Amino acid sequence: MSRCRAIYFAVVLVGGLAGCSSSPSGPVDGWMVAANRGQPPRVRAAGVERGWASESDVKVATAKASELFWTPGMPAEVRIAAVRSMASEPAADAALKRLVRLSLPHESNHEVMVELCSLTLARRWIEMTPGLVRGLSLSVPDVDDGNRVEAKTLTQLHPGRSLTEIALGVLTDPGAREPDEPPGLDLRRRARIDAWNLLARTDPGGEARRAWADQEINKEVFGGAVRAFVHDTGVLPRTGEELVWAEGVWREQAGRAWLGEVREAVALLSPMHRAGLEMRHLEPVRLARGGPWFDAPRSALYAEVERRQAGRTIHVRSIDQIHRRGPNRERVRDWVNELGWGDLLSILVVDDAMRQGAAVREFLKFADLDRRDVSTEYGGALFADPQGAPTIRLYPPRPGERAGDERFIASREMLDETGTALAYFHFHVQPRRFRDVAGPSRGDLLTAALLGRTSLVLTMVRPGVLNVDVYFPTGAVIDLGEIGPGEAGS
């Protein structure tokens, strides 16, 4: 280190401490300054450089720099100084590469991500591709994917290839398992799921993924679930969570039998009705087979939903605004352009199931359990038994997943065991609010979009009476009116 630079460090690090003591206290420990939350970020960043320069043992210096980088709440300047210090020492390369590999999928600070990407390009670390794809899979509001630093880094690492082609490459080969990967943590699988999430945006029509699924080399990826769903139903899982959903169904013998019934039902549909099907529509199609709505045109389904709504009491959520534009809307006419044939069929199938006496009694019973438990909201899944009758499965959140009386967190167990469910549901049972919270929250809509599920929220609008809203990943919300003692007795 040059003498001028050493003097600069002394001024920066000691200047802010001069008034604290009347006598010299010896050399300042740069690492302590870097960790001192009371110092400005630039002073702390200089402390990293000072600590690194004064440390004789590279392993010790690397461990201290890494600890600073991973400390929650650490300013970006300090974290970047830690990366640059490690990058200046060839003996720290292995630790630095590990730090970059672990950080890229989750880094939320833009300045730090720019630093990591610059380093990746400078070192030509092609093996960082899965991590960059994972990072890019997390969408940033109002920022185009192509303008993000992760995307620019990927296209420079892979000249002549599009983001879609790069993500498909990760799907096929997410890289070797890392030697430091903990048992039970499959990062290769996680990279594939996140690549699929990115492809949901770069390949919205699914053409590239359908072609990928047809390639022999990819036939066993995700256990062959993608190929099975595409070939049997024509439906491509849209998001990574839908991909996991399809894999879970295909893994079980009962799920494969269910998919066989779905295949037979879908084969009877007209090409127009098949064209817009999504994963969430498959169970409604299976249940509707042979019924009055199975062959009906979209206009007839729309008219029937509108007719049913006209004769019911509708409660529109008023406590907040759940859509980014315009007031809350829960009439079918408000969503005429967003509801396809499959969604309209789902509304009718769900509505018929919800109003059967046994289902109403179960919902009222579970709503009362929710009312008595202020540690969480309750929720679960609506199924159909082998005879087509509705069955309700409750999944109370585990102790560590209880986030208060205004939130329901679906457990991994619920997600894994409900692949053939008709819809998800949860309750709003808050006695002091009643009608104000009738309908999904903005968070509920985001969850539906993530999971790709048809979802229900049942709000206790008065004792013994529940208002039912069905909502979709598209953001559409349809109020199905009230259910209560009248239906429960049927």
pLDDT computed for residue 396 by the predictor: 82
Compute the distance between CA of residue 174 and CA of residue 190 in angstroms, rounded to an integer. Answer: 9
Quote the mean pLDDT of the chain: 89
Find how far residue 113's CA is from the centre of its chain: 21
Name beta bridge partners: 427: 458
Compute the distance between CA of residue 307 and CA of residue 171 in angstroms, rounded to an integer. Answer: 46
Compute the distance between CA of residue 195 and CA of residue 174 in angstroms, rounded to an integer. Answer: 9
Q: Say if strands 390-394 and 465-471 run parallel, antiparallel, or are unpaired.
A: unpaired
Domain boundaries, the chain: 3-174, 299-488
DSSP 52: H
Instruction: Name the nearest CA neighbour of 464 among 377, 363, 388, 385.
Output: 363
Compute the distance between CA of residue 425 and CA of residue 414 in angstroms, rounded to an integer. Answer: 11
User: Alpha-carbon torsion 342, 452, 171, 262, what sign?
Assistant: negative
Number of C-beta neighbours around residue 193 at 10 A = 20
What does the chain come to in residues?
490
pLDDT computed for residue 171 by the predictor: 96
pLDDT computed for residue 37 by the predictor: 95
Question: pTM of the full predicted structure?
Answer: 0.84
Tokens for 324, please give them. Answer: 């980014």
Backbone torsions φ then ψ of 458, nearest 5 degrees: -110, 115
pLDDT computed for residue 162 by the predictor: 98
Residues of the chain with pLDDT under 70: 1-27, 318-324, 397, 400-408, 430-435, 487-490
